[in-house]
Structure 1
Amino acid sequence: MDLLAGYGTAAIIAALLAAFGSAFVRGLTGFGMAILLVPILALALSPVHAVLLTNFLSVFIGLSEIRRLLRNAEKSAWVIIALVAVTTPLGLYALSLTTPAIARVVIAFIALSAFVAILLPRRGALDHHPATTGGVGILSGLMTGYAGMPGPPVVPYYVGRDIPRETAKASMLLIFTCASSAGLVSGTALGVLEWNLALLAALLFPAVLLGNRLGDRLSGRIADRTWRICVGAVLGAAAVAALIKAVG
């Protein structure tokens, strides 16, 4: 329980608010929980613990809606998931060798890269060459292990194409759920996973569940163009905030 004992009341409240806010964004856009939550948690926890705690939360919320994700996800998601499973351990191992200060800066720049990528021109619905899909899977796995953020390569890959919003969201969320599972398995294999993190995740999960449901409900009521603007705005805000905190 040492990990929980290190949290004061104010820190727990801040973590709950961050969990709620990041999950709301997840429900609204189909991504964003890790990008928003990991940099905040990394201010109070070691980067490794912040990543693994976020992985627990991502798995919990993903399992709560797994039927919808399996039904609506694009087939390309499974190719990416397979590559993520292979490359996640490499990213987590690199994180375990990195000093916390450097890791926080790298995590911030990863968030920034997602914002830059989303600004690229939109592509056709079928514009996903196997090499592109493979590259997205490899990068996503490395970023899952190193930063708990499979999103930076995945979000532009799906949101940047003219496919139905629900297909894009379900594909991204299925990948994120499986990527987080791979992160936890890798953490266990490398001996860096502390199971007290599961207890802390259980404490934060009600806030995640509520935020996700509210965001998903709102997502169904806004136009596609508005949704894509929200995606870009979230990525930009997260990148700037993470960079300021890392440098500061």
Structure 2
Amino acid sequence: MTSLFIFMCIILIASILQTSTGFGFSIMATPFLLLLFQPNEAIQINLILSLLISLTLIWKIRKAIDFDLMKKFIAGSVAGVPNGIFIFMTINDLTTFKIAVSILLLVLTVLLVLRFRIKRTPFRDYLIGGVSGMLTTSIGMPGPPLLLYFAGTSTKKDVLRATTLAFYLFIYFISLATQLMFTGTNRVIWETSLYAIPIVLLGLLIGQVLFNWINQRIFTIFTYVLLSFTGLYLLFESVFF
């Protein structure tokens, strides 16, 4: 019962973050789901629920999508997906896996706090899509490179949210299909995902209300707090427990 309660809290908070920020579900859910499930289970649960969220939200926010950028992300991700599944299939140590995820989040946070800036170019658009695709199939987290890229180019929060969700709709589907093909699945993954659907829908409703209240400055601060807390907690848990 304790594990179930923790799981529901993780899914609720992550769903709220996904709706209100456009990137929060995988960044929040994957590290904490690793505390409850094996890597393949945590990643596939994340992929299934993230795909559901993208399907639910995409129609309402479609007008804010940067379609040209999204197409470049998708084209780049096609090259990243097979590299990601190769990385995942070669990971044998769960502790090392969690430490790697935590360090990735902390490095991202530092770059954001230092106001890392990068000029958009077509090549970098494709490159970020490729890195995001690789991270999706390897650790279930396409968000970090996209978040850093958007922050570095000072993208407005509504465009960020819409474009990332549209890209997620593609990359989560492809990544889930790739995971099922190469690593298989199990009953726990699908039953757990089914139980989480009502919590996800509740989180979407709350997150939409918060999105209308959050200004750009609060949005940025919240991003830093989320990334640093998640990274530090996962690192601490991996090293000391």
Q: TM-score, normalised by structure 2?
A: 0.90
- Displacement after TM superposition at 1:167 (Å): 0.7
Q: Is the 8 A contact 1:113 1:152 kept in 2?
A: no
| 1:14 correspondence with 2:9 | no
- Displacement after TM superposition at 1:174 (Å): 1.9
Match of 2:23 among 25, 31, 41: 31
Match of 1:87 among 80, 91, 104: 80
Deviations 1:116-148 (A, max 9, x none): 232243658xx3111211221111111111110
| 1:176 correspondence with 2:161 | no
| 1:155 correspondence with 2:110 | no
Name the counterpart of 1:115: 109
Give distance in 2, aligned partners of 1:226 and 1:175.
24
Give distance in 1, aligned partners of 2:11 and 2:218.
24
Aligned pairs for 1:44-83 within 5 A: 44-74=36-66, 75-83=68-76
| 1:139 correspondence with 2:131 | yes
Give distance in 2, aligned partners of 1:12 and 1:47.
18
Name the counterpart of 1:96: 89
Name the counterpart of 1:243: 235
Match of 2:34 among 29, 42, 61: 42
- Displacement after TM superposition at 1:235 (Å): 1.5
Identity of aligned pairs, percent? 22
Which stretch has the larger CA shift, 198-207 or 145-154?
198-207
Give distance in 2, aligned partners of 1:152 and 1:229.
16
- Displacement after TM superposition at 1:195 (Å): 5.3
Give distance in 2, aligned partners of 1:109 and 1:90.
20
Q: Aligned residues, how many?
A: 238
Give distance in 1, aligned partners of 2:122 and 2:181.
30
CA RMSD in angstroms, aligned pairs only: 1.9
Partner AA of 1:142 in structure 2: M
Q: Is the 8 A contact 2:132 2:145 kept in 1?
A: yes
Equivalent position SS for 1:65: helix
Partner AA of 1:27 in structure 2: T
Equivalent position SS for 1:220: helix
Give distance in 2, aligned partners of 1:45 and 1:31.
22
How has the CA–CA distance of structure 1 residues 69 and 159 changed in structure 2, closer, same or farther, with 3 Å as cutoff? farther
- Displacement after TM superposition at 1:193 (Å): 2.8
The structure in which a higher percent of residues are helix is: 2
| 1:231 correspondence with 2:213 | no
5+ residue gaps, structure 1, are 1-8
Partner AA of 2:73 in structure 1: I
Aligned pairs for 1:175-214 within 5 A: 175-194=167-186, 196-214=188-206
Q: Is the 8 A contact 2:21 2:157 kept in 1?
A: no
Equivalent position SS for 1:64: helix
Give distance in 2, aligned partners of 1:31 and 1:202.
22
How has the CA–CA distance of structure 1 residues 191 and 236 changed in structure 2, closer, same or farther, with 3 Å as cutoff? closer
